[in-house]
Structure 1
Amino acid sequence: MPRAYWKGTLKLSLVTCPVALYPATTSVEKTRFHMINAETGNRLKQQMIDEDTGDVVEKDQKARGYEVRKGKYIEIEKDELEAVQIESTHTIDIDSFVPADEIDQRFLNHPYYIVPDGKAGTDAFAVIRDAMKDKGHVALGRIVLTNREHVLAIEPFGKGLLATTLRYPYELRDADEYFDGIKSPKISKDMVELAGHILETKAAHFEPKKFKDEYETALKALVKRKAAGKSIKLPEPEEKESNVVSLMDALKQSLEGGKSGSKTGKAHGRRKASRSSARTKARRSTARQRKAG
């Protein structure tokens, strides 16, 4: 098990228990690249450059600045930042419990696993977890991570708890700014029903194990071939499919699915056979003419 990201206390009124927080996601398996010198093969090192003078800025010259207007910055000192930072209390305070369906999914940010830290708080942990299971509610709590206070949505997850940091309202963009310009065309009932049938044919259950990251797979294969000194064959550019003009036709063809494909295949086969037969007849006719001559 990896090292805990955070350790502290989970607190519900007077009930407390020591817990540990672990990131529920990882990007370790993703293929990553470094910038290198194409001539030497050496890795490149980034440097901070003064935007106006072009001079390299050394580490002890770097500072934080806030842009008050275009090109005008005020420097914020390290001790000034520390003065406003929230001191970590190493406590997750549960403030309230809300129905799970009331949480707007746009607020969901980073997920973490919460587990008991040691045997001492196992009973208290189980009591809090099972009480939430019975009520079907999500706990809202507060935690300080990297000097910032975050709101947590905490819910039962298997034997443990799943905590998800929530975004603040100012971090969300107003949907109306994007959706107001969407027109409301008159759509026939037949089209909606056809689309509904298509949805029914594709009904399934949520099974993340079936998710395949095709790009990541291709990257790993590319790196493996290059490392083995094998040549890389570039694929031919795909021909763009012509757009289907009629929305109704598109819906009907989508619903037919494989059937329309098989019909098209049969028709294509008949046309191919017909052309082959015609070529054979033409060759025979030419051969007869040569014999006659």
Structure 2
Amino acid sequence: MRSLWQGTVSFGLVALPVDIYAATEDHGPGFHLVHAVDGGRIRHRRVCELDGQEIGPQETAQGWEAPDGRTVVLHDEDLEALPLPTKRIVEVIGFIDEADVDPLLYARPYWVGARGPGAQKPYALMTEALARSGRVAVCKVALRSRERLAVLRPRHGILVLHTLRWPEEIRDPGDLSSPAPTTDRELALAELLMDEMVGVDITGLHDDYAQALNSLVDTLAAGRTTAPPLEPQPPVDLMAALEESVRDARRARDGGHG
């Protein structure tokens, strides 16, 4: 892996030099935009709306619209000069229980590695201390040209930096809850169904979309048509659906017997 950020984790008087690496990668199908009539590839070009000229990457900069409507142009050197301590420091603000982080806030994970021999001891100490405490370190860090909220947490002896959305970035959903009443019998069956389906090995699950897409492409290339899958409908008899689901789950658990 190639480091995409170098800096220092700072907590109290302890300084931990680190490298940060991307922890995930996308494996989706490689779509590209084409003209629906003839299949011609559609290219996106950078064009200045004032003079109509096509602009190369080296001629672009960041623009910010001021309250009076003027555009302030910011170049890379301007952004590098920002007096922001988190540009090269993962600033630990404090520690909280991992359960206190709303999963809606989680954005993107990064692997964190110790940089240099002198970082090994504080790295091991912080990783083990977090693991034993069940807490995460709440941090601020500047990644990809903006300051982000983040948490540091241990995973199998390795530190993970997980960027968070700022709380104000979470939309208010309004009242999406259902007013429909539930009975004790329905709840008992739903809980029984969950008990029968306990034990999913997430590491054994894979994305089936690419395989389905390849099948679709082969079908279309052969001049055949496909029928869309039927969309599941809410059951007319909820109790009967729950009871049958419990029986199906038991048969699946028992290897199809019973």
TM-score (norm: length of structure 2): 0.78
Q: Please provide the CA RMSD for this pair.
A: 3.6
Post-superposition offset of 1:161: 0.1
Percent of paired sites with the same residue? 23
2:199 partner SS:
coil
Look up the equivalent residue of 1:102 and give its one-letter code: D
Q: Which residue of 2 aligns with 1:123?
A: 121
Q: Which residue of 1 aligns with 2:192?
A: 197
Structure 2 residue 54 is matched with structure 1 residue 58: yes
Distance 1:86 1:202, change over 3 A: farther
The total of aligned residue pairs comes to 246
Task: Within 5 Å, give how 1:156-195 maps onto structure 2.
Answer: 156-175=154-173, 177-179=174-176, 182-195=177-190
Q: Is the 8 A contact 1:8 1:19 kept in 2?
A: yes
Higher helix proportion (structure 1 or 2):
1
1:186 partner SS:
coil
**How many Å separate the matches in 2 of 1:166 and 1:195?**
33
Look up the equivalent residue of 1:209 and give its one-letter code: T
Task: Within 5 Å, give how 1:10-29 maps onto structure 2.
Answer: 10-27=9-26, 29=27
1:9 partner SS:
strand
Q: Which residue of 2 aligns with 1:153?
A: 151
TM-score (norm: length of structure 1): 0.69
Larger gyration radius, structure 1 or structure 2: 1
Look up the equivalent residue of 1:76 and give its one-letter code: V
**How many Å separate the matches in 1 of 2:60 and 2:21?**
36
Distance 1:196 1:242, change over 3 A: closer
2:188 partner SS:
helix
Q: Which residue of 2 aligns with 1:250?
A: 241
Look up the equivalent residue of 2:136 and give its one-letter code: V
Distance 1:144 1:32, change over 3 A: same
Distance 1:140 1:239, change over 3 A: closer
Q: Which runs of 5+ in 1 are unaligned?
A: 261-293
Distance 1:14 1:242, change over 3 A: closer
Structure 2 residue 71 is matched with structure 1 residue 75: yes
Q: Is the 8 A contact 1:47 1:56 kept in 2?
A: no
Q: Is the 8 A contact 2:64 2:74 kept in 1?
A: no
Post-superposition offset of 1:136: 1.9
Look up the equivalent residue of 2:139 and give its one-letter code: G
Moved more, 92-101 or 37-46: 37-46
Q: Which residue of 2 aligns with 1:6?
A: 5
Match of 2:135 among 134, 137, 151: 137
Post-superposition offset of 1:103: 1.0
1:155 partner SS:
strand
Post-superposition offset of 1:116: 0.8
Look up the equivalent residue of 1:75 and give its one-letter code: T
**How many Å separate the matches in 2 of 1:139 and 1:166?**
12
**How many Å separate the matches in 1 of 2:165 and 2:184?**
39
